[in-house]
Amino acid sequence: MFTITYLLGRDDIDLVWLVPTGQHVFGKTMTPLTVRVELLQAAINAQGWSDRVQVVQEESETDGPSRTFDTLTALQDRFNRDRFLLVLGADNLTERDRWYRFEELVQRWRVIVLGRPGHEKAIDECRSEDWCSVGPTLPSISSTSVRRALSHGQNSEILKWVPDSIRTQVSALYEDTSGGHLHISIYGLGSLGKSLSYALTNAGSKVTTWNRTDRGHSDFAGLPIKAMPGSVWLICVRDDAIESVCKQLAETIPHTQKPIVLHCAGRLGSDVLKAFADRGCATGVFHPLQAVRGRADDLQNSWCVGHGQELAVKMGRQIAGLVGAHFVVRPSGEPAAYHAAAVLAANFTTTLLDTGIDIFESFGISASDGQAMLHQLVAGTVDNMTKIRPRDALTGPFARKDFKTIEAHIRVLKTSFDDVLPVYEALALKTASMRNWSSEEMNRLRAILPSD
């Protein structure tokens, strides 16, 4: 911000272009480019600079390490009527012998050099060169010192140099989650909210909670709902309440707070968090694909699915790691389809088991015995599917194409359990298709199904 403010005050500069590095020439690991672009754009918009300051993603379009000479050449070729000036700190000038084609670069473009404490010698060596224009000295801080302050959760004077408009997002990006400095606010203490609260607290994170009703477990309760502290917010309320809750919450966020906001509904996209996005918050989805009962270990070895802005997805991955879960990013597409797949595979299993227990009870097996018997059967099938594909794990009449047994099933269901028969028929056809039955075999099956 210091540098941009100075540049905008110069008479010889019309526009300031910020060019984020695509791939560091010395192989340093960097935050993903898209995240850095989002943060830069948010800071520019908050300052009201968007008419004179632009983020240029020239280096995102090139392969291999980013080199300033190549970037300037590409920009000059594209905008050949414009005159470019390169702005850099004196610390970069100290390392000019390591730069790619530095002598050619300064022959083609003038350089504005901003002072850095400890690098006065480099400026003195270049001050008299025609290409060198010396600007003011930058404050005695560095990106490394800012990251260190963020990582250790320090309320440091250094952090005053991080713009208010992006401070929360940047804090979440560099907080040392292994050290327990991540501050997460959870809205909604149903089973999932409780599981996340316990697991994250056990992992060393600071957790603040809100629930609509006061059950003695939450830090805050009741309406109207208000913003809580925390750099990350997890919205764990009912699916149909998410959008309205978020609209209420967004109205209460202090202008200095820009939390990363994640909701936990599998069937919804991040568009329901628009009220937060409009206020500059990174938004996304964090959906634990797991049946939970409000226990700290519910999410151990489960899978969590993320979607949304890259900064939000990155935070979702960190949270999954804290609770001992795996993480995968859901590609773009209809979230309801993803959710329907999960419901078919898991939720309806309980319906099928309950139906099986009812049938057992009809001929004298107790509900408790029936549940134990079928649970063992299903557990064996699930265990098989951890080793081989579902179609290969299948056993029973559809695996061996036992039409006599299938006919017997249909006969008894039609007589005593006619409400179950349509379910059996639909699953029979789907199972036969999964096993790649021939056309002749499929026709034979359809012939014995009542509805066909």
- Listed in order, the ranges of the chain carrying CATH 1.10.1040 are 345-448
| Per-residue pLDDT, 16 | 95
Give Dmax over CA atoms of the chain in angstroms. 101
Rg of the chain's alpha carbons, rounded to an integer?
Answer: 30
Q: Is the dihedral of CA 190, 194, 195, 197 positive or negative?
A: positive
Whether domain 345-448 has CATH 1.10.1040: the reply is yes
pTM above 0.85, yes or no: no
| Per-residue pLDDT, 366 | 95
Q: Which CATH number does 2-166 carry?
A: 3.40.50.620
- Listed in order, the ranges of the chain carrying CATH 3.40.50.620 are 2-166
| Mean pLDDT for back-to-back runs of 10 residues, the chain (452 residues) | 91 93 69 80 89 88 79 93 93 89 94 91 92 90 74 66 76 58 90 94 91 83 87 94 93 85 94 92 94 92 93 92 92 86 92 95 94 92 87 92 95 93 95 95 93 67
Tokens at residue 156, please? 């440091």
| Per-residue pLDDT, 215 | 72
User: CA geometry: angle at 426 spanning 406 and 366, to 5°?
Assistant: 65
- Listed in order, the ranges of the chain carrying CATH 3.40.50.720 are 168-333
Tokens at residue 179, please? 């050290």
| Per-residue pLDDT, 223 | 83
| Per-residue pLDDT, 135 | 92
* E runs forming strands in 365-452: none
- 168-333 homologous superfamily: NAD(P)-binding Rossmann-like Domain (3.40.50.720)
Determine contact, residues 270/285, Cβ cutoff 8 Å: yes
- DSSP H or E segment with residue 243: helix 242-250
Determine contact, residues 117/136, Cβ cutoff 8 Å: no
| Per-residue pLDDT, 224 | 85
C-alpha–C-alpha distance, residues 395 and 384, integer Å: 10
Name all contacts of 27-31 with Cβ < 8 Å and 24+ positions apart.
27/65, 31/173
